[in-house]
């Protein structure tokens, strides 16, 4: 993760330089604000990665001479098929439409969002995926 952290830190340095140049040159608040925020986002990711890299091993994926066996074992958990994202997205879409057509739509979208959220959060507590 070290190299990835460095990449984002370099990127943030670049964005910072651009933000200063842009701000001084254009004297325009919107773009300058956005660029400084972009700098903040980049440094956040970069710092997190560099911070994590100091606490974990480099890992086989960043080792040029790694063997396939170096990453043997559990690779990670991959969620099975699910309809919960659809429910949450339908609710979200209704909410966004509520902004266009009137806030009353949100009364109808809130239950759908809650169903989606509830289903998503408690997915592994019930049903066929309970043991996952």
Partner 1 sequence: MHGTIMLLMFATPLFAGFANWIMPLQIGAPDVAFPRLNMFAYWLYLFGSLIAVAGFLTPQGAADFGWFAYSPLSGVVRSPGVGADMWIMGLAFSGFGTILGSVNFITTIICMRAPGMTMFRMPIFTWNVLLTGASRGVHHRVAVLRHHFRGHSGLLPEADVRLHRSDRRDDFHRRSFGDGLGAPHVCDGRRAIAVLLLHDIPHRGPDRCEVLQLDRHDVEGLALLRHYVIFGTVVFAMFSGFHFWWPKFTGKMLDERLGKITFWTLFVGFHGTFLVQHWLGVEGMPRRYADYLAADGFTTLNTISTIASFLLGLSILPFFYNVWKTAKYGKKVEVDDPWGYGRSLEWATSCPPPRHNFLTLPRIRSESPAFDLHHPEIAALDALQNGHGSADDKALAGGKEAGK
Q: Could you tell me which of 56, 125, 62, 116 has the C-alpha nearest to residue 87? A: 116
Q: Which is nearer to partner 1, 86 or 114 (CB)?
A: 86
Distance in Å, CB of 30 to partner 1, minimum: 3
Q: Which positions lie near partner 1, rule CB under 8 A?
A: 1, 3-4, 7-8, 11, 15, 22, 25-31, 33-35, 37-38, 41-42, 49, 60-71, 75-76, 78-79, 82, 84-86, 88-90, 92-93, 96-97, 99-101, 120
> Given the complex with partner 1, which of 77 and 131 has the nearer CB atom?
77
DSSP H helices, the chain, are: 2-26, 29-53, 84-101, 105-121
Instruction: Give φ, ψ of 116 to 5 degrees.
Output: -60, -45
Query: Minimum distance between the CB of residue 97 and partner 1, rounded to whole angstroms?
Result: 6
Of the pair 41, 111, the CB lying nearest partner 1 is at 41
Running DSSP on this structure, what letter comes out for residue 122? Answer: T
CB-side neighbour CA atoms (13 Å) of 108: 12
Minimum distance from residue 44 beta carbon to partner 1 (Å): 11
Least distance from partner 1 to the Cβ atom of residue 120, Å? 8
> Considering only CA atoms, which of 16, 9, 12 is closest in space to residue 53?
9
Residue 128 and residue 82: Cα distance in Å, rounded?
A: 11
Give 65 or 131: the residue with its C-beta nearer to partner 1.
65
């Amino acid at each position: 993760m070290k190299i990835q952290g460095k990449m984002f830190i370099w990127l943030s340095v670049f964005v910072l330089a651009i933000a200063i140049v842009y701000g001084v040159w254009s004297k325009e608040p919107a773009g300058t604000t956005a660029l400084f925020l972009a700098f903040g986002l980049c440094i956040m990711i970069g710092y997190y990665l560099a911070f994590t890299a100091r606490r974990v091993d480099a890992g086989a994926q960043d080792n040029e001479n790694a063997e396939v066996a170096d990453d043997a074992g559990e690779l990670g958990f991959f969620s099975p098929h699910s309809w919960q994202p659809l429910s949450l997205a339908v609710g979200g879409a209704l909410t966004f439409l509520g902004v266009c057509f009137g806030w009353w739509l949100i009364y109808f979208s809130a239950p759908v969002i809650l169903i989606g959220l509830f289903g998503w959060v408690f997915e592994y507590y019930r049903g066929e995926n309970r043991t996952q």
